[in-house]
């Protein structure tokens, strides 16, 4: 089966502006650039959930936003259903949008406070389909029903809903056009424990029922383990390790992955703790070190780590970018 | 015998007046924090964790008020001592750090001065001495290049670094009790892990007891010695951390443990049934009754008392008392 979405060598850079940037440009001879995404490649099969994890500032949300063209890519290719979509014009891209939808982290900020639930969820249909108002309403109510929101909530406004209900509205709005790929950017982070569990189960049920593919972006590693079949770990604009979910969580090989997993508190007082930690903090994506990007923080760093890092298969389907594995 | 209590909360009730009636945010909550321990206070949003902490500091604002119970600190009831004496305790013997460290810092004063001011205020040190002590505190909480960082402002600090400054400020007066309200929420996993390490380490070194408020059972398991579980304003279970995770007794605790995805293994996840009940004129009896698989008539009428199920392990549930609750 050909992959549904194939991302290769994706780069998203943001040029810096302002007096400080101008001074730097004079000094370095070239304008400073934030290399938020700096060469990312992955594929997503139909019906598959790929988890993209990493800490704040690693570029995972920029990958998501680039994929749905909220920011333009700087370089690289994004093939969706066999078609190159990174070079499409904005109007050409609009034809792909119904198939490629996104759910955002903040369930409140991503809803329009002045529209009723029904109007918000129905809006993509107005933009992307030729359905009549009656057909739109029917489709909207069916999707609301599917995400567990009854018809009595359809006439309400965002401020009248709980956090969990708001995120369901966001999911309904993303689903209403019958997409094939949903980009989920931290959809459960703003939710309370019990609501989180319900949204996770809802997402899994919807995926199975409709054969959806998810790009699930999160720093909540336990949720990623629950939902994703494959997981990619990002650090400073690049993917440093990728593997089937169970394999990645049970046998992390990249030092960054190992440190990340070791930092997650396990709800079991007798669970063994890996004392592995990195020193320092994530460096600025403007001044990215050459060679391995983790080098300065890695307790295992060797002179070889200053060389370009190979992307190696360390076990079947398990890849890592590290000189030492 | 148990270690002595630093703070002993007995039957604490807090209500908020509203247009539609009284909101019973905390209903006869009892627990104690013992010398040198870290006690976790867990529960969903709206379970009354933060209100309980605020009541300990006697900072409940109108329309809220403490309607019952006592909060014994050093043998005295904090609810009954005069305000000027309370000033000697609040911030000095009981300190608090919040889940929004950046907004808790003054954006117009350098970080170093904010810490130093506390030494002037509470210990009466000279300006020069308090500056010196402030640098020592910043070093103690692991802020790199403290001399340079002390001259910076809060906006120049990352979230994790702000939280370290808050911890430094909370510890300047060598408090006996530190209340940490969701200290790692909003921080990255590795930053959060280091803040928890710091709290554990400083707690052990300074002898301060810590009341750690969190909704994250992972944080509880790795950081606390004992746990109190709150649901809708009621404390439903108190246990040593190992006992709580090995044999959770209250149906709410059991549901909570099953409702979180695990990083260490594959599990079948089940959300806690129902939702947190309204606290507006709630019915008498157990507030989990509406969500409980083992509910019977009595649960809606009467409130179960805390009964021991194992050493140091108490639970408020009729089903557990009667042996109706299924074995774990």
Q: Does B239 touch chain A (CB under 8 A)?
A: no
ipTM reported for the complex, 2 dp: 0.86
The CATH number corresponding to B5-93+173-322 among 3.40.50.720, 3.40.980.10, 3.30.300.30, 3.40.50.300 equals: 3.40.50.300
Interface subset of A 5-34, CB within 8 angstroms of B: none
Q: Which residue of A has its CA nearest to B245?
A: A268
Please tell me whether the peptide bond between A301 and the residue prior to it is cis, using omega within 30 degrees of 0.
no
Beta strand A230-235 pairing with A49-53: parallel
Q: Does B222 touch chain A (CB under 8 A)?
A: yes
Cβ–Cβ < 8 Å for A324, A258: no
Residue of A56, A59, A163, A269 to mutate, interface with B, max B Cβ within 10 Å: A269
Could you say which DSSP state residue A116 is in? B
Q: Provide DSSP, B79-91.
A: TTS-HHHHHHHBT
How many Å apart are CA B264 and CA B211, to the nearest integer?
Answer: 27
Domain borders along chain B are 5-93+173-322
A40-52: b (≥16 Cβ within 10 Å) or e: bbbebbebbbbbb
User: How many Cβ contacts (< 8 angstroms) between chains A and B?
Assistant: 109
Classified as helix, coil or strand, B306 is coil
How many Å apart are CA A62 and CA B186, to the nearest integer?
Answer: 19
Is the domain defined by A5-320 classed in CATH 3.90.950.10? no
Q: Nearest C-alpha of chain B: how many angstroms from A268?
A: 5
Inter-chain touch B219–A263, beta carbons under 8 Å: no
Burial of B72 (0-12, 13-18, 19+ CB in 10 A): middle
Q: Does B19 touch chain A (CB under 8 A)?
A: no
Polymer length in residues for chain A: 325
Burial of A204 (0-12, 13-18, 19+ CB in 10 A): middle
Q: What is the pLDDT along chain B (328 residues), one digit of tens a residue?
A: 357 899 999 999 999 999 988 999 999 999 999 999 999 999 988 899 999 999 999 999 999 999 999 999 988 999 899 999 998 899 889 999 988 888 899 999 999 999 999 999 888 899 999 999 999 999 989 898 999 999 999 999 988 899 999 999 998 888 999 999 999 988 888 889 989 999 999 888 888 999 999 999 999 999 999 999 999 999 999 999 999 999 999 999 999 999 999 998 888 899 999 888 889 988 889 999 999 999 999 999 999 999 999 999 999 999 999 887 766 5
Which residue, A214, A198, A204, A264, is CA-closest to A52?
A: A214
Q: Provide DSSP, A222-272.
A: HHHHHH-SEEEEEETTEEEEEEEHHHHHHS--SHHHHHHHHHSPPS-TTS-
Residue of A268, A270, A272, A277 to mutate, interface with B, max B Cβ within 10 Å: A268
Which residue, B156, B116, B154, is CA-closest to B133?
A: B116
Could you say which DSSP state residue B105 is in? S
């Amino acid at each position: 089966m050909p992959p549904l979405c194939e991302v290769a060598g994706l780069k998203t850079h943001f040029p810096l502006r302002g007096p400080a940037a101008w001074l730097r440009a004079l000094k370095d001879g070239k304008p400073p650039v934030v290399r938020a995404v700096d060469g990312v490649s992955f594929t997503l099969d139909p019906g598959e959930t790929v988890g993209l994890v990493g800490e704040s500032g690693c570029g995972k949300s920029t990958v998501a936003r680039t994929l749905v063209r909220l920011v333009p890519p700087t370089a690289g290719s994004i093939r969706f259903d066999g078609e190159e979509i990174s070079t499409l014009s904005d109007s050409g891209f609009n034809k792909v949008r119904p198939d490629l939808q996104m759910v955002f982290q903040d369930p409140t900020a991503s809803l329009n406070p002045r529209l009723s639930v029904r109007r918000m969820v129905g809006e993509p249909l107005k933009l992307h389909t030729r359905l009549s108002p009656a057909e739109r309403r029917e489709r909207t109510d069916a999707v609301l029903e599917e995400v567990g929101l009854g018809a009595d909530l359809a006439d309400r406004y965002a401020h009248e809903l709980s956090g969990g209900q708001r995120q369901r509205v966001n999911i309904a709005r993303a689903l209403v056009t019958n997409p094939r790929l949903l980009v989920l950017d931290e959809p459960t982070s703003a939710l309370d424990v019990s609501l989180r569990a319900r949204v996770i189960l809802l997402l899994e049920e919807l995926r199975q029922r409709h054969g959806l593919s998810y790009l699930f972006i999160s720093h909540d590693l336990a949720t990623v383990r629950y939902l994703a079949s494959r997981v990619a770990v990002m650090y400073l604009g690049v993917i440093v390790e990728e593997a089937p979910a169970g394999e990645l969580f049970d046998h992390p090989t990249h030092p960054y992955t190992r440190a990340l997993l070791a930092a997650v508190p396990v709800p079991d007082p007798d669970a063994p703790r890996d004392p592995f930690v990195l020193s320092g903090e994530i460096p600025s994506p403007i001044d990215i070190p050459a060679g391995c990007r983790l080098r300065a923080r890695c307790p295992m760093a060797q002179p070889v780590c200053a060389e370009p890092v190979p992307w190696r298969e360390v076990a079947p389907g398990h890849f890592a970018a590290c000189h030492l594995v | 015998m148990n270690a002595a209590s630093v703070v002993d909360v007995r039957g604490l009730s807090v209500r908020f007046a509203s247009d539609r009636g009284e909101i019973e945010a905390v209903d006869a909550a009892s627990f104690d924090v013992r010398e040198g321990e870290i006690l976790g206070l867990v529960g969903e949003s709206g379970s009354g964790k933060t209100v309980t902490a605020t009541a300990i500091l006697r900072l409940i604002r109108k329309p809220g008020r403490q309607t019952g119970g006592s909060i014994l600190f050093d043998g005295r009831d904090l609810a009954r001592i005069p305000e000027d004496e309370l000033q000697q305790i609040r911030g000095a013997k009981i300190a608090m750090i919040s889940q929004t460290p950046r907004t808790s810092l003054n954006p117009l004063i350098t970080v170093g001065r904010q810490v130093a001011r506390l030494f002037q205020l509470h210990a009466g040190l000279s300006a020069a001495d308090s500056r010196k002590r402030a640098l020592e505190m910043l070093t103690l909480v692991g802020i790199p290049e403290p001399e340079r960082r002390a001259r910076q402002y809060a906006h120049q600090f990352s979230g994790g670094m702000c939280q370290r400054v808050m911890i430094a400020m909370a510890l300047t007066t060598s408090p006996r009790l530190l209340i940490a309200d969701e200290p790692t929420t909003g921080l990255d996993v590795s930053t959060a892990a280091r803040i928890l390490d710091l709290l554990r380490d400083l707690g052990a070194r300074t002898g301060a007891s810590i009341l750690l408020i969190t909704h994250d059972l992972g944080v509880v398991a790795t950081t606390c010695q004992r746990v109190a579980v709150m649901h809708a304003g009621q404390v439903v279970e108190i246990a040593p951390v190992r006992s709580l995770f090995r044999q959770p007794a209250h149906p709410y605790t059991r549901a909570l443990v099953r409702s979180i995805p695990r990083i260490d293994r594959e599990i079948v996840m089940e959300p806690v049934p129902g939702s947190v009940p309204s606290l507006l004129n709630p019915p008498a009896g157990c507030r989990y009754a509406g969500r409980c698989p083992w509910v019977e008539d009595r649960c809606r009428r009467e409130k179960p008392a805390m009964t021991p199920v194992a050493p140091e392990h108490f639970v408020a549930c009729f089903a557990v008392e009667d042996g109706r609750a299924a074995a774990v």
